[in-house]
Structure 1
């Protein structure tokens, strides 16, 4: 027998880890880019922070709604959180592409 509230909590914690690791990767790439182009490095850092904030905010919202949906046997919330995570990955990839081009 499993606790019905454990799954949303584990999922919420996984989204937090995803946001933190995405932020770390993005900031490493932004630091590399800043060595060649400080302005572009700052822009990439700002985009990384904004998308990470979106992932955190949507993760908290999804946790609350997911817990309620789980306990009431309703469908889970929308797909905005995965979309925000993809945005964070895209920011990292754009930064890596910029670093490759300007190196």
Structure 2
């Protein structure tokens, strides 16, 4: 960079890093919510508790894989200057939220 050029006001890679960290926090909070719910369900139905725990672990693992893949695709897109548009991580987060809510409703109805 020469003396005449001004530096850019942002680093494009930092935005991707912040987004990746946000997806990790979302995954961990979804997993924690599912496991807490599984613990509460254990007092009502052990089968439902185990099913909820297994689904929470599977959904969190899938969510983590999608988030990591998304992070890598975004990094590659930023490096090449192309646009990446994908709604799968948001759809997976919504699905995890719906599953947790359904399990919570099951707990309230059975308790």
Q: Same fold (TM over 0.5)?
A: yes
Equivalent position of 1:46 in the other structure: 54
Runs of 5+ in structure 2 lacking a partner? 1-8
Runs of 5+ in structure 1 lacking a partner? none
CA RMSD of aligned residues (A): 1.0
Deviation at 1:72, TM superposition (A): 2.3
Tell me how far apart the structure 1 counterparts of residues 16 and 90 of structure 2 sit (CA, whole Å): 15
- TM-score when scaled to structure 1? 0.94
More helix by share: 1
Equivalent position of 1:57 in the other structure: 65
Deviation at 1:2, TM superposition (A): 1.1
- TM-score when scaled to structure 2? 0.88
RCO greater where, 1 or 2, for CA within 8 Å and sep 6 or more? 1
| Matched length | 103
The structure with the larger Rg is: 2
